[in-house]
Amino acid sequence: MHALIVAFGILNSAAFVTLAVVAVRQWRRRRDAAAGWLAFAFLSLGLIVSIGRLVPAHPHGFFPDAEDVFHLTHYELKTAIIDLMSAWSNGSAPRGPDYWPRIVAERKAAIREWARHETPPALGPVPEVIDDPAIVMLWGITRESLDAWLSASGDADGKEVRGFAASSGIVEGPARIVKSVEEIARLQKGDILVCQVTNPTWAPIFQKIVGAVSDIGGSMSHAAIVAREYGLPAVVGTGNATSRIKDGQRIRVDGGRGVVTIL
C-alpha cells in the first residue's frame, strides 16, 4: 500500500512542474520546441513506467504488463490508484481488476485495427491558400503538395515519388520502410530510410543510413535538418512514399531535385 501512496503522490506532486521547467531550458538550448517537450517526455516517462510497475505489484493489480499504464489517461490512472487505496482502507474488493483490463484490451485492439488502415492525405475541404510558414517549412504542406497527394492514387504504378528537396546529393540503395520505433532495429548499414516522419529520438540512426525519404515534412523538418547535418541526400514531404515504395526495393534519392526513383 505504501507503493500506491507513493504513486498517487507522484501524480499530484510538483515533479511535473519541475520537469516542465527542465523542458523550457532544453528548448532554449535546442533548435526547436520539440526538443523541450521531448526532454519532458523522457523524464516523466520514468515516473509513469514506475507507476505501471507498482500497480501490478499490488495484490489486486490489474496490469499484466507495466507499459499497459500508457493506455490510461492521467485522470484514469489516478482513479485506478484511488480505487485500490480505498479498497485497502475499508476492506472491500477493488473495482479496478474487473474494469481496467477490459478497457486496456479494447484500446490495444483499437490501435492494432487502426494500424491496418491507410489514412487519407487530407480530411475535409482543402483550403485555397496555405501560407503559414510553420506548416510549409515544418510539415511540407502546401496547396500544391496536397493536390499531388490527393491525386497520387491514380499514379500508383509510376516510378517516381516527388517531395521537397531537403538535402542535396544522389544515392542509390535498398529502401527500408520504418513506420514505428519498434521497426528501427531492421535498419542495416547502407539502407535508405523510408518513413512517415521522424523526431529527435531517431537521430542516431542517421549514422547508419545513406539517405532518407519521408511522407511528412518540409525543409525545416527534423529529417531534413539531420540529413543536412550528416550530408545525406533526403527528400521529405512526399505524402505517400511508405505506401508507394516496397520494403527492400532499390531506389534512387535525388535530394537536390526532390525526386525518388524506384529502380
Q: Annotated active-site positions, please?
A: 222
Q: Which regions of 41-169 does DSSP assign to beta strands (E)?
A: 160-162, 164-167
Domains of the chain: 2-115 (no CATH), 133-262 (3.50.30.10)
Q: Does pTM top 0.75 for this prediction?
A: no
Sort residue 160 into left (φ over 0), alpha (ψ -120 to 50) or beta: beta
**Sign of dihedral through CA atoms 54, 60, 64, 70?**
negative
Residue 126 has a pLDDT of 74
Residue 80 has a pLDDT of 79
What is the tens place of the pLDDT at every residue in 30-80? 444 455 544 545 445 555 555 555 555 445 556 677 777 778 887 887 787
Q: Which long-range contacts (CB under 8 A, 24 or more apart) does 189-195 make?
A: 192/251, 192/253, 194/241, 194/242, 194/245, 194/251, 195/223, 195/242
Indicate if the pLDDT at residue 231 is higher than 80. yes
Residue 11 has a pLDDT of 47
CA nearest neighbour of 67 among 81, 49, 54: 49
Q: Which residue has the higher pLDDT, 195 or 61?
A: 195
Burial of 10 (0-12, 13-18, 19+ CB in 10 A): middle
HEC secondary structure over 230-243: HCCCEEECCCCHHH
> Quick one: pLDDT band at residue 10, thresholds 50, 70, 90?
very low
Q: Which residue has the higher pLDDT, 185 or 134?
A: 185
Rounded to the nearest angstrom, the gap between the alpha carbon of residue 59 and the centroid of all alpha carbons in its chain is 34
Distance CA 177, CA 243 (A): 9
Residue 116 has a pLDDT of 82
> Quick one: pLDDT band at residue 1, thresholds 50, 70, 90?
very low
Indicate if the pLDDT at residue 234 is higher than 60. yes
> Quick one: pLDDT band at residue 246, thresholds 50, 70, 90?
very high
Collapsing DSSP to helix, strand or coil, 146 comes out as: helix
Whose cell is 492525405? That residue is 121
Burial of 137 (0-12, 13-18, 19+ CB in 10 A): middle
What is the tens place of the pLDDT at every residue in 211-222? 999 998 888 898
Residue 22 has a pLDDT of 55
| Cβ pair 227, 234 in contact under 8 A | yes
Eight-class DSSP state of 127? P
Average pLDDT, the chain: 77
Q: Which residue has the higher pLDDT, 142 or 196?
A: 196
Residue 83 has a pLDDT of 79
Length of the chain equals: 263
Indicate if the pLDDT at residue 167 is higher than 50. yes
Residues 6+ apart with CB under 8 A from 250: 172, 173, 174, 175, 262, 263
